[in-house]
Copies of this chain bind each other. A is one copy, B any other.
Amino acid sequence: MARSWWGWGNVEDAVRGAELEALLTRVRALMPGELTDHEPPVISSLDLPGPRVTPPASLADLCSGEPEDRAAHAHGKSFRDVVRNLHGDLRHVPDLVARPAEERDVIDLLDWCTHEGVAVVPYGGGSSVVGGVEPRCDGHPAVVTVDLGRMNRVLEIDRTSRAARIQAGTLGPHLEGQLRPYGLTLRHFPQSFEFSTLGGWLATRAGGHYATLYTHIDDLVESMRVVTAAGVSASLRLPGSGAGPSPDRLFLGSEGSLGIITEAWMRLQERPRWRAGVSVRFGDYTAAVAATRAIAQSGLNPANCRLLDASEALINVGVNAGGLLVLAFESADHPVRPGLERAVELCRDHGGEPVVGTAEAPGRDSDGASAGASAADTWRSSFLRMPYQRDALARHSMIVETFETACTWDRFEVLHRTVTEAARQAIHEVAGTGVVTCRFTHVYPDGPAPYFGVYAPGRWGSTVAQWDHIKDAVSEAIHTCGGTITHHHAVGRDHRPWYDRQRPGPFAAALTAAKTALDPAGVLNPGVLLPAP
């Protein structure tokens, strides 16, 4: 498998042939558009300027100035990243890509960059969709991307406490592969799982696939090691502590602006043995939201509780409904059918009806939906193909992007209406027509995390500007309705204008002071999270 330099994932997994035809046919049925394919440029044609900095001899072996490396580290994987790659628009390219093999290398690299005033961009899997790994100089003479990919091992496993010490550069599948022989799992499955790393999850406060309880990476951390200019910050391995503000919580979500995470002790779980799932159809979205809220507040804590609105259900699952709730329960210890049955009861109270059979089987490593292809199965395969489909459509001048938020339940109805309307209006302005979808990725007792999708026909050469217009409108609507500008995608550069307004002023002052203490030269990911000095 070869990683795509310009788009999502592996070159071999790109959408092509019959899958591509089917995709384009579906799109044509929904909206007009030219749908001409545009090939990505070859890297040699990009004519990248040479590196502006030379590493010292002691670090030279860790550093690459090859055009392929530099081009592949120029952007994350948002729609605007992919489209800029397709246009060969690589105006910010790292001068060097450094690949430390151990923590000592990270310390030496940061020391050198701090001394030279060279900007440093910590890089895990590079799957940022918010401009978080874009190597901007922002006043510095050069920029080095520090790719942690060689630090990819599970170093220690504590079976008694169910925890493991894991290097930050470990990609999801490799991480799970090293835990599987022990019957353990981190059970953290963001959509980016294959192409993102533990360190990236920690730095961005990643949200896992599961809807409730232990799904956010924040809650799975026992301790962390972070390399800063003020030394290595090493917290104690603890199941819980009340000794002052949590050290880990300062670095969680710091997006490489305070230090470089090198490893962490992470809480593990046994692999689930019992699973049960069902999809519930509602005629009416408001009733579906009320049922979902009842389940979120019930203490049943489903593993999956993904409410699709009518557009999402139709486009991604092919089900006609006012709302479709994909429910699943899992346990490594006990049967989960009683929980599922109670959840279905709550759905029925709100007019919901199960659309596929429910099954539960000890030892079965599937979600138990046995009869035919369930809506949940259909949805999941669609889910994993989404980023590849996004790339294929981006090549065909489509505008395809997502954005997400979280709000309290009392605000959701207005937020959903206002944001959807703002998206439609902005789409109308820049593209004439298009589709807006919404699903919940996570639910909490006090509110949901809605995740929106936008699909519209763009004009080749303008789709980034068209998307930026839509993003401005929806971000403004989210902010006005009291939602967070990001629930699990992090802030990066793209969300900065709204994050700056959302973040309490005194906290901004405290965070800036903390950064100055830990990164006095201001070289760490300048412009991300905080303004470049």
Contact = CB atoms under 8 A, between A and B. Distances in A.
A93 to B, nearest CB: 26
Interface string A498-522: 0100111111011111101110000
Given A235-B504, A486-B243, A518 B511 contact: no
Contact of A237 (B160, B244, B334, B408): B408
Interface stretch (A6-14, A366-374, A445-453, A456-464): A445-453
Among A230, A232, A512: residue with most chain B CB under 10 A: A230
A22 B133 CA distance: 68
A246 B491 CA distance: 12
A283 interface: no
A239 interface: yes
Which of the listed residues A161, A222, A503 has the most CB atoms from chain B within 10 Å of its own CB? A161
A284 to B, nearest CB: 17
A275 interface: no
Interface string A87-131: 000000000000000000000000000000000000000000000
A464 B518 CA distance: 40
Contacts of A483: 238
Given A299-B331, A299-B333, A513-B517, A246 B237 contact: no
Interface string A285-322: 00000000100011110000000000000000000000
User: Copies per complex?
Assistant: 2
Given A161-B446, A489-B242, A510 B204 contact: no
A259 interface: yes
Given A297-B270, A445-B267, A243 B506 contact: no
A484 interface: yes
A447 B446 CA distance: 28
A205 B517 contact: no
Given A222-B446, A504-B234, A161 B409 contact: yes
Nearest to A228: B506
A235 B507 contact: yes
A482 interface: yes
A267 B503 CA distance: 21
Contacts of A507: 233, 235, 247, 250
* A245, A333, A408, A448: most-surrounded residue (chain B CB, <10 A): A245
B222 A408 contact: yes
- Assign chain A's interface to a size class: 35 or more
A247 B446 contact: no
Contacts of A297: 162, 270, 333
B298 A333 contact: yes
Q: Which one of A483, A512, A513 has the highest number of Cβ atoms from chain B below 10 Å of its Cβ?
A: A513
Interface centre among A237, A270, A448, A512 (most CB of B within 10 A): A237
Nearest to A336: B299
A277 interface: no
A324 interface: no
Contacts of A445: 162, 239, 267, 269
A503 B247 contact: yes
Interface string A321-353: 000000000011110001000100000000000
A58 interface: no
Nearest to A510: B514
A175 interface: no
Contacts of A234: 504
A77 interface: no
A240 interface: yes
B244 A253 contact: yes
A488 interface: yes
A161 B518 CA distance: 38
A237 B483 CA distance: 8
Interface centre among A236, A247, A270 (most CB of B within 10 A): A236
A352 to B, nearest CB: 17
A505 B406 contact: no
A236 B482 contact: yes
A469 to B, nearest CB: 22
A248 to B, nearest CB: 9
A347 to B, nearest CB: 14
A488 B504 CA distance: 27
Q: Which of A207, A250, A502 has the most CB of B within 10 A?
A: A250
Given A233-B504, A247-B504, A486 B446 contact: no
19 contacts: A161-B446, A207-B240, A228-B506, A234-B504, A240-B442, A240-B444, A242-B484, A243-B499, A244-B255, A249-B249, A250-B250, A258-B510, A269-B445, A270-B297, A297-B333, A298-B333, A299-B334, A334-B338, A509-B518
Given A233-B505, A239-B447, 8 more contacts: A161-B447, A235-B504, A236-B482, A238-B447, A239-B445, A242-B484, A247-B503, A298-B333
- A-B CB proximity, top 5 nearest: A239-B447, A239-B444, A510-B514, A513-B517, A233-B506
